[in-house]
Amino acid sequence: MTLFQSHLEYGIVPLGRLPRNMLRTLISLQKKCIRNVAGIKGFHSSETLFQEMNVLKFDDLFDFVCTKLMFKCSKSLLPTPILSIFESLSHSNRSNSFKIEKCKNKFMERFPTAFLPRIWNANSLSVRLSQSLDSLGKNYKLSKQNL
């Protein structure tokens, strides 16, 4: 499962905003993989398996990987060309938010410059103010459990 999950995580940022019908195969492969690891044959619901194995489903994984990417951006841990794409809300940015680019059409909303700041800003303040990747993961998980 970890091999599949790592491959999925590697390419999820550009893939995550594709139309849903284009992602169906990838999502069903993830479900098939978790059933295979659990040793379950047939059409058993994978919902409980994801929870039992502590594995994020595609949408949750996409959200978390994007959050980690923006965390690295907020801490200036990415190369300068990537950092220059995103702009903090203000100089005294205590909420650690980024400016959201206005899109003229729906197609432009699929670009990372448009959706990454939205995903980051939608996180709780405890997630955005995390000091390390470890604390980010813990705060992210806690914020999702509280929903």
- The predicted-structure confidence for 86-135, as pLDDT tens digits, reads as follows 988 876 677 888 999 888 888 888 889 999 999 999 999 999 999 999 99
Q: For a pLDDT cut of 70, what percent of the chain falls above it?
A: 98
Q: What are the pLDDT digits (tens) for 16-70?
A: 888 899 999 999 999 999 999 999 987 788 899 998 998 999 999 999 999 999 9
CA nearest 12: which of 33, 28, 26? 26
Question: Rounded to whole angstroms, how far apart are CA atoms 95 and 98?
Answer: 9
For the chain, the average pLDDT equals 90
- The answer to whether the pTM exceeds 0.85 is yes
pLDDT given at position 144? 84
